């Protein structure tokens, strides 16, 4: 029986993970859950999965949750950043699913690694912000970081059983998002609702916007660099609108391995929880006859400059990826509040990166400070634009 903690249980990945767990009660047991503000859903999850501890965003939520729970329920309710760290390091867990969205996932994931837990990593920002620190720490602790991000899970699966020195190149696939066939001019006029309509994957709002701008793929390039210890120059991105091939690896002998499947996050989640084993699931089979064509295109970085900006920040390294990510989080949030246009996203992020003084080989504190600095600068730039 594998004991599981989920950080971010009410988000898209958390809900899918609980679905996998619910269908395999003989394999998995939930011991701890954390959520942000969705107390109603968390309460339902507590009643169904009976964890021993939970954490919520703040004290008010903790009080409210306690009041609504059955008095007989002896569950411990933590709150705030400290509470989240407590949950992440909860001794009973074997594996922690890191599924909080954004840079907020970094500190609790590090707390879980420090506590010696294996990580099923859905929070790509952990690697984007602190890839080097996290890699060194996971080696020291002897824990496994198993990717949940579908592309990285694909690469992880393709690399199974092969020697790392035989890997020549990683090819990340990207659906291209809802604006793949839009012209540059059409992209200038897109609305929030259009950006939120992803053609293939059902995900949280932030990542859906990032997929539309292709920033998500840029962040995934940096994530892949650290997860698989490759240079960014050896990571390619191809547009694959069908989202059937989840990524590809190229070996030195010219052999390519790809991982395919229906686009459903429950597959990489289940694999991360059972690796190196596989378990049955009831998803519809992949119908290749119906799919007919598997297409691959070169991404257009003129239409989607975020991909190029992210790649450059990844090559630069140091605190640049943290600044890239923070600027993107703030800019996407402004776009969701309809303060800026979709096409402003890359311009704003680039401006912040240009004025940032990169710190190389940063400490965790340097990274956190760079993240905070970038948030303030991005807000200033947006304010000036809105005025
Ligand atoms: Mg992905």
Task: Supply the angle between the helices 12-22 and 39-49 in degrees, to the nearest 10.
Answer: 20
Going from the Cα of 154 to the center of ligand 1, the distance in angstroms, rounded, reads 10
Going from the Cα of 231 to the center of ligand 1, the distance in angstroms, rounded, reads 19
Q: Are strands 245-251 and 167-174 parallel, antiparallel or unpaired?
A: antiparallel
Going from the Cα of 334 to the center of ligand 1, the distance in angstroms, rounded, reads 23
- Does position 105 have pLDDT exceeding 80, yes or no? yes
CA geometry: angle at 179 spanning 173 and 181, to 5°?
85
Going from the Cα of 255 to the center of ligand 1, the distance in angstroms, rounded, reads 24
Under a CB-based contact definition with an 8 Å cutoff, are residues 243 and 147 in contact? no
Q: Please tell me the predicted confidence (pLDDT) of residue 336.
A: 97
Q: Print the SS3 string covering 108-154.
A: HHHHHHHCCCEEEECCCHHHHHHHHHHHHHHHHHCCCEEECCHHHHH
Of 377, 366, 306, 373, nearest in space to 130 by CA: 366
Give the chain's domains with CATH numbers: 2-147 (3.40.50.720), 152-316 (no CATH)
CA atoms within 13 A on the CB side of 66: 12
- Does position 71 have pLDDT exceeding 80, yes or no? no
Q: How far is CA 258 from the centre of its chain?
A: 21
Cβ–Cβ contacts within 10 Å for residue 140, how many? 10
Q: Please tell me the predicted confidence (pLDDT) of residue 15.
A: 98
3-state secondary structure of 382: helix
What are the pLDDT digits (tens) for 326-345? 999 999 999 999 999 999 99
Q: What's the pLDDT band for 202 if we cut at 50, 70, 90?
A: confident
Of 250, 286, 222, 219, nearest in space to 155 by CA: 250
258 backbone dihedrals φ, ψ, rounded to 5°: -125, 150
First and final CA of the chain: distance in angstroms? 57
3-state secondary structure of 31: strand
Q: Please tell me the predicted confidence (pLDDT) of residue 201.
A: 81
| Residue with token string 């190229």 | 250
3-state secondary structure of 239: strand
Q: Which residues pair with 249 in a beta bridge?
A: 170, 257
Q: Please tell me the predicted confidence (pLDDT) of residue 210.
A: 97
What are the pLDDT digits (tens) for 137-192? 999 999 999 999 999 999 999 999 999 999 999 999 999 999 999 999 999 999 99
Going from the Cα of 71 to the center of ligand 1, the distance in angstroms, rounded, reads 41
Question: How much of the chain exceeds pLDDT 70, in percent?
Answer: 100
Going from the Cα of 124 to the center of ligand 1, the distance in angstroms, rounded, reads 9
Q: Give the chain's length.
A: 387
Q: Please tell me the predicted confidence (pLDDT) of residue 218.
A: 98
Under a CB-based contact definition with an 8 Å cutoff, are residues 51 and 76 in contact? no
Q: Which residues pair with 98 in a beta bridge?
A: 7, 121
Q: What's the pLDDT band for 73 if we cut at 50, 70, 90?
A: confident
- Does position 251 have pLDDT exceeding 90, yes or no? yes
Going from the Cα of 219 to the center of ligand 1, the distance in angstroms, rounded, reads 9
What is the spatial distance between Cα 296 and Cα 307, in angstroms, rounded to a whole number? 17
Question: What 8-state DSSP symbol labels residue 250?
Answer: E
Q: What's the pLDDT band for 203 if we cut at 50, 70, 90?
A: confident
Cβ–Cβ contacts within 10 Å for residue 185, how many? 8
Going from the Cα of 265 to the center of ligand 1, the distance in angstroms, rounded, reads 9
Of 149, 156, 103, 148, nearest in space to 128 by CA: 103
């Amino acid at each position: 029986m594998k004991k599981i903690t989920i950080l971010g249980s009410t988000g898209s990945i958390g809900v899918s993970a609980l679905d996998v767990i619910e269908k395999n009660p003989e394999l998995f047991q939930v011991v701890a859950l954390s959520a942000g503000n969705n107390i109603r859903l968390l309460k339902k999850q507590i009643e169904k999965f009976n964890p021993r501890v939970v954490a919520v965003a703040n004290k008010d939520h903790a009080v409210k949750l306690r009041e609504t729970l059955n008095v007989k329920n002896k569950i411990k309710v933590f709150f705030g950043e400290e509470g989240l760290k407590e949950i992440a390091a909860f001794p009973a867990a074997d594996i922690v699913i890191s599924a909080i969205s954004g840079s907020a996932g970094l500190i609790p994931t590090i707390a879980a690694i420090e506590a010696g837990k294996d990580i099923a990593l859905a929070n790509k920002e952990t690697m984007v912000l602190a890839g080097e620190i996290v890699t060194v720490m996971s080696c020291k602790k002897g824990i496994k970081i198993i990717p949940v991000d579908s592309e990285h899970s694909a690469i992880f699966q393709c690399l199974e059983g092969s020697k790392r020195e035989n890997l020549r190149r990683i090819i990340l696939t990207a659906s291209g998002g809802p604006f793949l066939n839009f012209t540059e001019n059409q992209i200038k006029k897109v609305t929030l609702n259009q950006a939120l309509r992803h053609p293939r994957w059902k995900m949280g709002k932030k990542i859906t916007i990032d997929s539309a701008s292709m920033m998500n793929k840029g962040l995934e390039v940096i994530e892949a660099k650290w997860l698989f210890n490759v240079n960014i120059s050896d990571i390619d991105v191809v547009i694959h609108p069908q989202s059937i091939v989840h990524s590809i690896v190229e070996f030195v002998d010219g052999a390519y391995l790809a991982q395919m499947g229906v686009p459903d996050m429950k597959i990489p989640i289940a694999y991360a929880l059972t690796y190196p084993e596989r378990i049955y699931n009831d998803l519809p089979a992949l119908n290749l006859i119906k799919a007919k064509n598997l297409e691959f295109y070169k991404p257009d970085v003129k239409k989607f400059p975020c991909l190029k900006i992210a790649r450059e920040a990844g090559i630069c390294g140091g605190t640049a990826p943290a600044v890239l990510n923070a600027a993107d989080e703030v800019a996407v949030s402004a776009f969701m509040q309809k303060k800026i246009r979709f096409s402003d996203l890359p311009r704003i992020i680039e401006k912040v990166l240009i004025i940032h003084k990169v710190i190389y080989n940063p400490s965790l504190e340097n990274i956190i400070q760079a993240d905070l600095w970038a948030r303030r600068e991005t807000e200033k730039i947006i304010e000036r634009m809105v005025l």
